[in-house]
Structure 1
Amino acid sequence: MARPESLDLAHLRSWIGREETAEDVVTPILAERFHGTLDLAGPAPRAREAVPRLIHYGLTQAAVPTAGLGPDGHPARGGFLPPVPLPRRMFAGSTLAFQGDLRVGDAVRRVSRIADVTLKEGRTGPLLFVAVENRIEGNGETVLEEQQDIVYRGLDAGGAAKAPFPAPQGRWSETLSASEPLLFRYSALTFNSHRIHYDRRYAMEVEGYRGLVVHGPLQATLLLGFAARLRSAPPSRFSFRSLSTLFNGEPIVLHAEEDGDGLKLWTAHEGGPVAMAAQAAWT
């Protein structure tokens, strides 16, 4: 398997088992800003009311000093996550099981553990996957267990490839704008300084994209909200995986169809391939 000489898998796998704990509070202003950013219907949640699921991506984020950021805007490599010597870092997907909801005013505690580090060979070179287990507590009670997958890869991963098939049309669909303000506000909510989401020149000239990239967790949040509206209740289990990239300036289409007792969901641009695939279940 081809790999950079500096990619020492044994060293990177020594991070397996490392843990990190962080704390935060679900403030009323976070609930209001999340509500406004996503144009959610009705009033924002108030004290002791449940907040939308996946709002936890805006909680317990490390406040790394600006001087401690790498060239891509992410915190410099090392620390809790292993120092993977591949330039692109992306949120590949997640599997979530909800036991309850966070509420406005809750004291939040996140306990994270590196569960696995694996190397695979992709179309354009090595892909290094880091699996992170997260437990989210609200006022001492577990409300969410998540396995999050982060992928690292080379800059050439955005090169030319065989044209993918267009996404199918779902039984239900919604269209919304992937505007620059939406991407900026979501980056601010999640304290995400990855430059591919706001620095067009960097995204295009350094990482080889054709525009600003729509966040994976943002797409997942939109799909989970769509599922909750279709079933009039949020799912108890939700999983998602990024398959291709969405860019701002083109409308995002949310699709859904029945899948047994649950829903299959996906995002796409009009005429484009599936960008994110998701599954929602209520049992």
Structure 2
Amino acid sequence: MQIDIDDLRRWIGREEHASEALSATRLQQYEATLEDSPPQCPAGTAPPLIHWCLAQPVVPMSELGRDGHPALGSFLPPVPLPRRMWAGGEITFHDNLRVGNTVDRCSKITDVTLKQGRSGDLCFVTVTHDISTAGRAICTERQDLVYRAAASGPTVASPAPVAAPPGDKSQTISPHPTLLFRFSALTFNGHRIHYDRRFCTDVEGYAGLVVHGPLQATLLCHFAAKLWGAAPKTFWFRSVSAICDDTDFTLNATEEGDGLRLWTAAVGHPVAMEAGAQW
């Protein structure tokens, strides 16, 4: 497939704005879904990354693509590759959100690049999000999206002979389908790989329902905050491979310099997501 990268790069500079208030009910739903994950926060403030549940794109059912995502070509460029994933990102935290704050999200496409991977063309779209409330900056975020060709076989390989090592601190998570469904609902994420098992296995080639990259990142960020005793100032993450709901996975942390090196791994598998937190 020929990809006109010059045409796609015309989307650089395009912006999108949205707003939503953080309600007490939304915070309660968030904490009930993640249960013991959110760290203890200063009185009256919300856990880090709860902004992923607010001011998300809202489009009619008729404007969704085959995968449940909003169709491309409005804000995001019309990349002619069917599989879309949140590959990673980096967040700098400036302040805390409180119940009743109205979150304002200003999103801007800052880069579109084409690379070659083992499976063919990979198109990366970088989006910068500025999150604020009443003119007060909450966080600045870089989001890396990757687009790739349709699956031609199983996406998730058999467990590697050498599993990822445990961290100095670790915690086991069971990716129950209800957890994945609730997180999709909280973030208004219609991507079918997180709740439609037949689509996952028959169309996308996964071994089961896929654990959201942002869910893994949230759990790692909260794990880091609990270990350190405070939310980090900066947090970055990068997806390496998928985790499905057919096995438990672990959160892992090891001190490194003035922060923590973090990763997730399905039991008996290599690293799925790597991350870092600094204070």
Q: Over aligned residues, Cα RMSD in angstroms? A: 2.0
The 1:209–1:160 alpha-carbon spacing in structure 2 relative to 1, beyond 3 Å, is closer
Overall identity of the aligned pairs, in %: 52
Match of 1:63 in 2: 58
Q: Residue 125 in 1 paired to residue 134 in 2?
A: no
Cα distance between partner residues in 2 of 1:154 and 1:43: 38
Match of 2:18 in 1: 22
Number of residue pairs aligned between Structure 1 and Structure 2: 277
Deviation at 1:42, TM superposition (A): 9.1
Match of 2:104 in 1: 109
Deviation at 1:155, TM superposition (A): 1.6
Q: Please tell me whether the aligned partners of residues 37 and 222 of structure 2 are also in contact (alpha carbons under 8 angstroms).
A: no
Alignment of 1:202-241 (within 5 A): 202-241=199-238
Runs of 4+ displaced beyond 6 Å: 41-46, 160-163
Letter of the 2:177 partner, please give it: E
Cα distance between partner residues in 1 of 2:257 and 2:86: 28
Match of 2:249 in 1: 252
Letter of the 1:215 partner, please give it: H
Deviation at 1:156, TM superposition (A): 2.8
Q: Residue 10 in 1 paired to residue 3 in 2?
A: no
Match of 2:30 in 1: 34
What is the TM-score when the length of structure 1 is the normalising length?
0.93
Cα distance between partner residues in 1 of 2:26 and 2:50: 9
Match of 2:142 in 1: 147
Q: Please tell me whether the aligned partners of residues 259 and 277 of structure 2 are also in contact (alpha carbons under 8 angstroms).
A: yes
Letter of the 1:115 partner, please give it: T
Unaligned runs of 5+ in 1: none
Cα distance between partner residues in 2 of 1:42 and 1:264: 19
Deviation at 1:140, TM superposition (A): 1.7
Match of 2:239 in 1: 242
Deviation at 1:249, TM superposition (A): 3.0
Deviation at 1:40, TM superposition (A): 3.0
Q: Please tell me whether the aligned partners of residues 127 and 151 of structure 1 are also in contact (alpha carbons under 8 angstroms).
A: yes
What is the TM-score when the length of structure 2 is the normalising length?
0.95
Q: Please tell me whether the aligned partners of residues 32 and 44 of structure 1 are also in contact (alpha carbons under 8 angstroms).
A: no
Q: Residue 197 in 1 paired to residue 194 in 2?
A: yes
